[in-house]
Amino acid sequence: MTDKRGAQPRIVVTSQDLDRLRTVIDTAADARSLEAAEALDAELGRATVVEPTEVSPDVVTMNSRVVYLDESAQQTREVTLSYPRQASVAEGRVSVLAPIGAALLGLSVGQEIEWPMPGGSRKRLRIVAVPYQPEAAGHYNL
C-alpha cells in the first residue's frame, strides 16, 4: 500500500470509526473476510486517530460518499464506504472489507494509494472528491 514515491500515504481515522472497525475485524468469519480484515487492521495500525469533530471534511470516513479515479483503468467512480452489512453493489455501497473500500478509508482529496487486489494485481487509486462526509454534516451516529 504505497504512494508514487514508495511510501504509504498518511491516513486519518476517527476514534468512533476505529472502535466500530475493530469490531468488524474481530468478527470476520470466513477466509476471504479474514484476509481483508488483516489488511484493514494493518491500515488502522498506521492511522492517525482523531475525534469525529476534528476530522477534516476532505477525509474519507465510514459512510462517506467518495469520488475516486482508478488510475489503472482511467475510470472515475463514486461510491459510499460502508460497513459489510450495508454494502450493496446495486446501491454503490462498497464494503470496507472489499479491497477498494479498505484502500479508500482515511485518504483525503488528492491522495493516491496503490493497493493489492485479488489475484495478485494492484490498483492505483486517487481521491478526487468527498461530496458527503457524515462528520462534516454533523451526522455522528450513522
Tell me whether residue 11 is exposed, middle or buried, using C-beta atoms within 10 angstroms of its C-beta: 0 to 12, 13 to 18, 19 or more. Answer: buried
d(CA 24, CA 22): 5
- Polymer length of the chain: 142
Q: What is the pLDDT of residue 73?
A: 86
Helix/strand/coil for 43: helix
Q: What is the pLDDT of residue 31?
A: 66
- How many Cβ atoms sit within 10 Å of the Cβ of residue 78? 12
Domains and CATH numbers, the chain: 12-132 (3.10.50.30)
Helix/strand/coil for 30: coil
pLDDT tens-digit series, residues 111-121: 999 887 777 78
pLDDT tens-digit series, residues 69-97: 999 889 999 999 999 999 999 999 999 99
Q: What is the pLDDT of residue 39?
A: 85
Are 99 and 115 spatial neighbours (Cβ–Cβ below 8 Å)?
Answer: yes
Cell reading at 6? 514508495
The model's pTM: 0.89
The segments of the chain whose pLDDT lies below 50 read 1-5
